[in-house]
Amino acid sequence: MNVSVFRYDPSEDSTPSFEMNEVPHRERMTVLEVLKYIYDNDTPIAFRYSYSIKACDSSAIKMNQKPVLTCKGKAQPVMTLEPLRVLPVVKDLVIDFDVYTEQRAKSRSFVEHLQGPPPLFPKNPLSTIPTLIPSSSAVKTSARKGLTCVLGK
């Protein structure tokens, strides 16, 4: 496989670049396996993965201009891998989630029941689902900004 990987260390590089890597193809190979191969066999590269602690969303990158999770994205014969551009780059494929976390913490969305606590055995189970009730358009805007998906969708 031909894999072009985004390389950039803001503390050392004036501009980003792309580095070409040859990776042997295996059936059902994920993007994460490709990155691990490059890291172990070619050149150390900064990327994030946390699938073992159920934080797979932190591994989001762009593959051929589309957002993917490295642990789930299927490798392709020709790939360009780069960080999501919605947040600042820390190094290579690692982005700064602090901006997202701060915005999410400022979000004031909340959930409340419209008619008191739900009955123990409701006739209509759907009637007990909580409803999102923003109290003003400012709260709606704050909630929308804070809950915007990091994948840029």
Q: Number of structural domains, the chain? A: 2
Q: Do the domain assignments include residue 36?
A: yes
Q: Are residues 29 and 57 in the same domain?
A: yes
What proportion of the chain, given as a percentage, has pLDDT over 70? 64
Q: Are residues 6 and 58 in the same domain?
A: yes
List the domain range (segments joined by +) for residue 139. 100-146
pLDDT of 151: 44
More confident residue, 1 or 129: 1
More confident residue, 34 or 109: 34
Q: Are residues 91 and 107 in the same domain?
A: no
pLDDT of 150: 45
pLDDT in tens, 86-145: 888 999 999 887 877 777 777 766 555 455 555 555 565 555 445 454 555 555 555 455
DSSP string, 49-102: --GGGT-GGGGEEEETTEEEETTTPBP-SEEEEE--TTS-EEETTEE-THHHHH
What proportion of the chain, given as a percentage, has pLDDT over 90? 46
pLDDT of 105: 75
Q: Do the domain assignments include residue 28?
A: yes
Q: Are residues 68 and 131 in the same domain?
A: no
pLDDT band at 149 (very low <50, low <70, confident <90, very high): very low
Selection from 149, 40, 152, 96 nearest residue 32 by Cα: 40
pLDDT at residue 56 is higher than 70:
no
- CATH code (residue 29): 3.10.20.30
